[in-house]
Amino acid sequence: METAKNPVIIRTAKKDDAAAIAKIHVETWRSTYAGLLPDDLLLRMNVAEHEARWWRQVLGRYRRNHFVYVAETKADGVIGFGSGGPSREPGLAYKGEIYTLYLGDEFHGRGLGKRLFGALAERSVRDRGPSLIVWVLAGNPSRFFYETMGGKPVARRPGVMAGAKIEELAYGWADANVLVPSGN
């Protein structure tokens, strides 16, 4: 819990954060996407595999076009993370994209997602300019977070994940400077 003696710090992730990020990634996927994605996909997710195969690479050699931030406290360690980089959808007029934004379930509802998202948006604006996009599963209740942050629905796309049909929604900001914390 954040207190004056245990503040939440948002910082650029280091390679040593890979295990903590992988743990949050797996746990939040299981809690967030239960009923939205196939159970076998969620059950097969493995923290060690995510750390070794994905996050260590993202935080190492693939770092050039990708940024990752963590939220942490002294008492709890890493409690959330987010990542971004160039938009992966060239057909849309958005240059920056937030790829991930996850907090441990016990840290929801405290304004930490907003703070982490603001830090990610600030970095994206600095690196890519003011336009920003985020893709979310259509059934994900967290999509309302992006609406409260001022994101406008700008696109939909169908897909398949682990054999299940999915639909993603894109929320966009023509000027993501509105997300950047004041005073930064």
- Domain locations along the chain: 9-129
Percent of the chain at pLDDT > 90 equals 65
Region 47-63: mean pLDDT is: 77
What pLDDT shows up at residue 54? 79
Q: Which two tokens stand for residue 151?
A: 């994101």
CATH 3.40.50.2300 fits 9-129, yes or no: no
Strands 164-173, 132-137: pairing is antiparallel
Strands (E), the chain: 9-12, 67-73, 77-86, 96-103, 132-137, 152-161, 164-173
**From 41-55, 89-103, 115-129, 134-148, the region with the lowest mean pLDDT:** 41-55
Average pLDDT over every residue of 120-145: 95
Closest CA relative to residue 20, chosen from 70, 60, 94? 70
The larger pLDDT score, comparing residue 65 to residue 122, is at 122
Q: Which neighbouring-strand residues pair with 84?
A: 67, 98
At 184 the pLDDT is 47
In this structure, the number of other CB atoms found within 10 A of the CB of residue 123 comes to 21
Instruction: State how far the Cα of 172 lies from the Cα of 152, in Å rounded to an integer.
Output: 5
DSSP H helices in the chain: 18-32, 39-44, 47-50, 56-58, 112-128, 143-148
Quickly state the pLDDT bin for 182 (edges 50, 70, 90): confident
pLDDT for 170 equals 97
The predicted-structure confidence for 156-169, as pLDDT tens digits, reads as follows 999 998 888 999 99
Q: Provide the pLDDT confidence category of residue 2 given band limits of 50, 70 and 90.
A: low
Distance in angstroms (rounded) separating the CA atoms of residues 131 and 172: 7
pLDDT at residue 66 greater than cutoff 80? yes
